[in-house]
Amino acid sequence: MSEHLFSGLRVVDCATVIAAPAAAMMLADYGADVIKVESRDGDMLRILSDVSTTPDADNNWFWQLDGRNKRSITLDLKQPEGLTVLNKLIDTADVFITNHPYPVRESLGITYDDIRARNPAIIYASLTAYGEQGPERDRRGFDQLAYWARSGLMDLMREPGTVPTQGLPGMGDHPTGVALYAGIVTALLQRERTGEGGMVSTSLLANGLWSAAGVAQGAFAGGDMRAYRETNQVNPAMFRVYHTADDRWLQLNMVRNEELLSLALTAMDAVHLLVDERFATLEAMFEHREALGDEIQAIMATRTSDEWLSVFEAHGVPVNRVGTVEELVADPQILANKMAEPPADTAIDTPSLINHPLRISSVPQKGAVRAPDLGEHTKEILESLGYSTAEIQDLQARAVT
């Protein structure tokens, strides 16, 4: 039996930046041989750690995060010989992953119909910004545009009266990568049962809409969105975050029924609020929600977040502190569940790597191996395709690889 579930599975990662390559990384984590096809300039993912809006560190952490456990080959796909190499890789592949815009795919001859004609059993995984059909099919896009802005999330996720807030780098890419991975694995199971290949597709817009579905479905159901927006100009008291004496914030918004509200007010030694005529009923509490929130804020400001967490825990009230990513680095819960862990490969120079979110007891995960240097495995991959030393040197001399 092979050591890992996808040992022997060949994946051609002909994609760029985060979302689609993250799906390939997950397959590699379970043992697939992932060959990353890059231009001679390299994937933009290689430089994201150096962008001024990301944390500065003495290592290429973004590339190690999503590029691990892969092999790299450089190809100039504008040259016929480069396309020939890519097609030979496709002929040997089980999975082909791409996020190139459709006009590029069509010009290179790497649409699903093109590739299926060469390799009928292949699983073709397509990631687009806005979907496979429709007037925006050919638009280029990134998660900040398609997942965050276009989906409505950027508008919904802001305080009343404030401007839409910018998202985090890769915030939509990483969950979209998990969705693409799930589609690939589903298609592989179908192929195992029927022998048939197929096309898997998802988009940043579809995943953004799915993330917003807890509100967006109300709009699709004909809900009164104008009333929704007007009502939410002032948050219910339990939907506010509260500032504590140690300059931290507490999230109380799972206090959503009368029993929990009574327990919360008891914990805060604020039962007197229940006899205030402004808050005598749940309806009155909602009508005067801003005043109730202000009363609670005055109380919360008297203790530290640690003190409040202890008090709420003792009363069985579900409350949590708004965390910071700096704290998560040494968080015992994160470490105990291997959500992040030190890499076994000493060539990875980042102290710890965040894992993808899946854990399967019966499927061992491969330890992280250093993300490849640009074109590091070009020669060995070409040799595996039958190219001679002289042919490889010729391709390198003509800047095909």
Q: Each residue of 151-209: pLDDT tens digit?
A: 999 999 988 889 999 999 999 999 999 999 999 999 999 999 999 999 999 999 999 99
Separation of alpha carbons 214 and 228, rounded Å:
13
Q: Which two tokens stand for residue 255?
A: 């206090």
Domain membership flag for residue 286: yes
Q: Are residues 155 and 17 in the same domain?
A: yes
CB count in 10 Å sphere of residue 101: 16
Structural domain contains residue 218: no
Query: Which H or E run contains 262?
Result: helix 258-267
Range of the domain at 44: 10-212+338-397
- Coarse DSSP helix, strand, coil percentages of the chain, rounded to the nearest 5 percent: 45, 10, 45
Can you tell me the distance from the alpha carbon of 253 to that of 152, in angstroms, rounded to the nearest whole number?
22
- Partnered with residue 201 across adjacent β-strands are 126
**Is residue 56 a part of any domain in this protein?**
yes
Going by the DSSP 8-state scheme, the letter that residue 212 receives in this structure is T
The residue whose two tokens read 């939410």 is 232
Model pLDDT for residues 324-377, shown as the tens digit of each residue: 999 999 999 999 999 999 998 999 999 999 999 999 999 999 999 999 999 999
Same domain, 59 and 119: yes
- Please identify, among 321, 348, 378, the residue that sits at the C-terminal boundary of a domain: 321
Q: Could you read off the pLDDT of 74-120 as tens digits, one per residue?
A: 999 999 999 999 999 999 999 999 999 999 999 999 999 999 999 99
What was the pLDDT predicted at 140?
A: 86
Residue 197 contacts residue 119 (beta carbons within 8 Å): yes
Residues 120 and 185 in one domain: yes
Q: Name the percent of the chain lying above pLDDT 90.
A: 91
Please report, for the domain that includes residue 301, its CATH number: 3.30.1540.10
Looking at the fold, whether 247 and 191 belong to one and the same domain comes out as: no
C-alpha closest to that of 124 among 5, 18, 15: 15
Tally of structural domains, the chain: 2
Specify whether 166 is located in the same domain as 266. no
What is the distance in angstroms between the CA of the first residue and the CA of the last residue of the chain?
Answer: 36
Cα–Cα distance for residue pair 399/75, rounded to 1 Å: 8
**Is 42 in the same domain as 97?**
yes
What's the gap between Cα 95 and its chain centre? 20
Residues 248 and 389 in one domain: no
Per-residue pLDDT band at 2 (split at 50, 70, 90)? low
| Residue 219 resides in a domain | no
User: SS3 for 186?
Assistant: helix
Is the same domain home to 53 and 183? yes
Element (H, E) at 20: helix 19-29
β 249-251/241-243 pair status: antiparallel
Cβ neighbours of residue 63 under 8 Å, at least 6 residues apart? 45, 46, 48, 49, 371
Over residues 15-37, the pLDDT tens digits come to 999 999 999 999 999 999 999 99
Which residues, in sequence order, are CB contacts of 77 under 8 Å at separation 6+? 39, 83, 86, 108
What local confidence, expressed as pLDDT, does residue 4 receive?
A: 94
Q: Both 302 and 348 in a single domain?
A: no
The CATH number for 372's domain is 3.40.50.10540
Residue with tokens 């990301």: 54
CB 190 within 8 A of CB 116: no
